[in-house]
Structure 1
């Protein structure tokens, strides 16, 4: 089964040139479509305190607001990519955008937390349908010599969208209501649908003819993650004595084991386990899991700490992380170029340690002090570490797979990162002693946040040590292009990684 980012076979429509009018329209449609998912993923964290106050709910409900979206997105991403390859990438991209818009409308009018959580899960389904299609459309539509430019532009503009998200969300939450962070998706989605219908050519992957979509694999992994997450969120909240959380946790683990067994025997698996026969691929994804788990957990808690403890407004909390995005966007390309010259091992070892140091510096954040003395130093060190790490990590995961499986390797690495973040959001608050209504008590929450920052920082350092031991620099092939002449670009943190020559 083809992955969401499998390079397309050469269809008749693959003739668009970068910089032409038709090419710009296709690029605009795909960038704006992926921006729907990336902005929403970053903006919701800023709104969590307001959502909690409006609905009068505890931390577990806020965890579900975040994880419900990630659950369906991570569980269905590979299946959704296969649907586009089989039945039309443009078709499922448009379906995903419309689905996402409808779910966003439901989020915006949700009368209570359970309704919002269900709507967020539906949003994740829409994001799973549209996210892989955006890159696959670029692969299928542009001429081979212009694909790198188009995907590079897509990557950079997606990073800008991710940076705008917290700022825009903070302003809307502060000026009007958290509900508007979902309402703004509706006109943007309408614009994307119009652009796609008018300007985006349809494409399919001829190699999928006669193959079947691994729907069973998608169902097993999604339901397994649901059970696992439910148990990990609800159990530590004082419900271990009840049968539900423990049953869900055990059932989730069994379903994930069944997923692995199914993928081993199905002729066209959603997740080709043969990829993990590569030590480099397995090691890179292990590093990804630990690193992104640490990041996901602490970044879930940070906006709450800033607003409920440090007294930031929603807008100030959104702006506070802009230097992180700026540093990452400014330095990631150079980091990729350096890794191409010297190999990824050094940066994948040192970078996560810098990320860990940045997270540990967050223990300074409390009710006293200023942004310049408490938050900014941590954000800058954190950003330097990410810039050093992300591009080499993505390129290493893709380089470790056969060229014919570069797309599925990209999707797997992306899904590993999302799954790690999902589990961390479920587990880290309990480890830090933040449960129930603790986020409404600044002293209690702050103590737990500082503990969570240290735990997450230590995990990042662990991922760097894992890279130092497990990652190997590739030997240059005879006659290969000099590494200094090219580097691998990568997409924004919340977008699927993509390997391109620039």
Structure 2
């Protein structure tokens, strides 16, 4: 085996590992949610922040992480992300209150926000152009594997140990990955752009503040509390408007508004937000439903999700070729319809035994596996090649903020309909998430077709 082949395998393996860890941590918590809620004696509404804090942080900090990596060195920032992620995992495992856990999840999110884009940048800058397609396919496949393994592994850990071990497991893996990355990953730099701290502060306030306001507004508030929530909501909205106005005037904007003049870019990102809003809303509640109403333990609940998540292995490899043959629009629209229909069928069969849910779960999984690659290709293909990195960051922001907003909306619907019955609330939530998925058709119609 030649030295070049060995180097390629180390680069591919280590960058894929970082991406896998970042994706895994978003999914492994799902089957541990019931155990965390029971341990901390908290409501479903409070629990959502253990998931949202991670995703919002990644979305808000992702672009500044990309800018720092281009300036300071991609390997250096990738390793810093691994270190912060590992430290955050220790804090999560040691958490004794929900507030502590949320802060620790924010720390994890800070690390993960640079692990994903830097791993992709290191991979593409190191390998020859002719190897990019195959390497990125493997890299994406490893990240997708986290969607399959995460819930099942989380269930296994909770069933055999305690929920804290879903975070402790990150520590030895993170430290090993950090040591090997220093040894085997090459350093590289990219185009240096100015870092505007004000813009990044504004987008963090706007994204986190608006989602928090939406969640808090559904609580039973007295007049003084309502005033505080309204004030935070208006401040967040103002921050978002200010951010957009600044982007329109800046010579080197963090999010170029000119991108959104392209119909495929705007439509693809909006459809992406709907696709993942629906998915994250379901992944937050479905494991709880299987455990509380199906009387499954955490491990069984994780395995019962496999008809949904496992379709990625079968469908995703064919999605790229199908997009080339049939066009992005039709594959994205069909995927959104399949996902929405699958969720509605789950709502229909909610009082049946688990066997009735297998085909709807598979249908929803096929939809996600079809629409995801089609929308990503549509967004990245709508901008000049030199802008693909920034477009990828914007795509991921829509994906993650869509997921956080979807979780919040799912919780709102659940509390409006659940009464004293979890199943009734879950059924309403599945109907709502199915509708959100179909709402993505509005954006998908703007995509190009062959």
The answer to whether the aligner puts 1:464 opposite 2:441 as a matched pair is yes
In structure 2, what is the Cα distance between the partners aligned to 1:336 and 1:25?
26
1:154 CA drift (Å): 1.2
Quickly say closer, same or farther: Cα 1:464–1:152, change in 2 above 3 A: same
Q: Deviations over 1:429-475 (max 9, x none)?
A: 2123359xx6xx8x52211111111111122223235424x22325x
1:82 CA drift (Å): 0.9
* Structure 1: gaps spanning 5 or more residues: 1-14, 475-502
In structure 2, what is the Cα distance between the partners aligned to 1:330 and 1:92?
34
Task: Select the residue among 450, 457, 461 that pairs with 2:427.
Answer: 450
Q: Deviations over 1:236-278 (max 9, x none)?
A: 1213631332222111111111111121222221111111011
Task: Select the residue among 40, 59, 62 that pairs with 2:44.
Answer: 59
Quickly say closer, same or farther: Cα 1:351–1:306, change in 2 above 3 A: same
The answer to whether the aligner puts 1:423 opposite 2:405 as a matched pair is yes
What corresponds to 1:264 in structure 2?
Answer: 248
1:427 CA drift (Å): 2.3
Task: Select the residue among 334, 354, 369 that pairs with 1:350.
Answer: 334
Asked whether the equivalents of residues 343 and 473 of structure 1 are also in contact (C-alpha less than 8 Å), the reply is yes
Asked whether the equivalents of residues 35 and 162 of structure 1 are also in contact (C-alpha less than 8 Å), the reply is no
What corresponds to 2:371 in structure 1?
Answer: 389
Quickly say closer, same or farther: Cα 1:389–1:201, change in 2 above 3 A: same
Q: Deviations over 1:132-177 (max 9, x none)?
A: 1110000111112122222211112222233211111101111111
The answer to whether the aligner puts 1:108 opposite 2:93 as a matched pair is yes
What corresponds to 1:401 in structure 2?
Answer: 383
Task: Select the residue among 371, 384, 392 that pairs with 1:410.
Answer: 392
Moved over 4 A (4+): none
In structure 2, what is the Cα distance between the partners aligned to 1:102 and 1:133?
19
Task: Select the residue among 117, 124, 140 that pairs with 1:155.
Answer: 140
The answer to whether the aligner puts 1:318 opposite 2:302 as a matched pair is yes
Quickly say closer, same or farther: Cα 1:466–1:101, change in 2 above 3 A: closer
In structure 1, what is the Cα distance between the partners aligned to 2:91 and 2:254?
30
Quickly say closer, same or farther: Cα 1:104–1:129, change in 2 above 3 A: same
Quickly say closer, same or farther: Cα 1:326–1:59, change in 2 above 3 A: closer
In structure 1, what is the Cα distance between the partners aligned to 2:24 and 2:273?
23
Task: Select the residue among 61, 64, 71 that pairs with 1:79.
Answer: 64
5 Å matches for 1:243-282?
A: 243-282=227-266
The answer to whether the aligner puts 1:362 opposite 2:336 as a matched pair is no
Asked whether the equivalents of residues 107 and 182 of structure 1 are also in contact (C-alpha less than 8 Å), the reply is yes
1:369 CA drift (Å): 3.9
1:196 CA drift (Å): 0.3
The answer to whether the aligner puts 1:339 opposite 2:319 as a matched pair is no
In structure 2, what is the Cα distance between the partners aligned to 1:312 and 1:434?
26
In structure 2, what is the Cα distance between the partners aligned to 1:158 and 1:214?
30
In structure 1, what is the Cα distance between the partners aligned to 2:222 and 2:61?
29
SS of residue in 2 equivalent to 1:473: coil
Q: How many residues matched?
A: 447
What corresponds to 1:371 in structure 2?
Answer: 354
1:123 CA drift (Å): 0.9
Q: Deviations over 1:334-393 (max 9, x none)?
A: 222122122112212222111111011111454x543222x2111111122122211111
Greater per-residue helix proportion: 2
Asked whether the equivalents of residues 20 and 145 of structure 2 are also in contact (C-alpha less than 8 Å), the reply is no
Question: TM-score, normalising length from structure 1?
Answer: 0.85
Asked whether the equivalents of residues 144 and 312 of structure 2 are also in contact (C-alpha less than 8 Å), the reply is no
1:301 CA drift (Å): 1.3
In structure 1, what is the Cα distance between the partners aligned to 2:214 and 2:168?
31
In structure 2, what is the Cα distance between the partners aligned to 1:129 and 1:349?
31
Q: Deviations over 1:463-497 (max 9, x none)?
A: 235424x22325xxxxxxxxxxxxxxxxxxxxxxx
1:423 CA drift (Å): 1.3
Structural RMSD (CA): 1.9
1:230 CA drift (Å): 1.6
Task: Select the residue among 100, 107, 121 that pairs with 1:122.
Answer: 107
Question: TM-score, normalising length from structure 2?
Answer: 0.95
Asked whether the equivalents of residues 271 and 442 of structure 2 are also in contact (C-alpha less than 8 Å), the reply is no
What corresponds to 1:68 in structure 2?
Answer: 53
Quickly say closer, same or farther: Cα 1:31–1:434, change in 2 above 3 A: farther
310-319 or 182-191: bigger deviation: 310-319
In structure 2, what is the Cα distance between the partners aligned to 1:92 and 1:434?
44
In structure 1, what is the Cα distance between the partners aligned to 2:209 and 2:16?
33
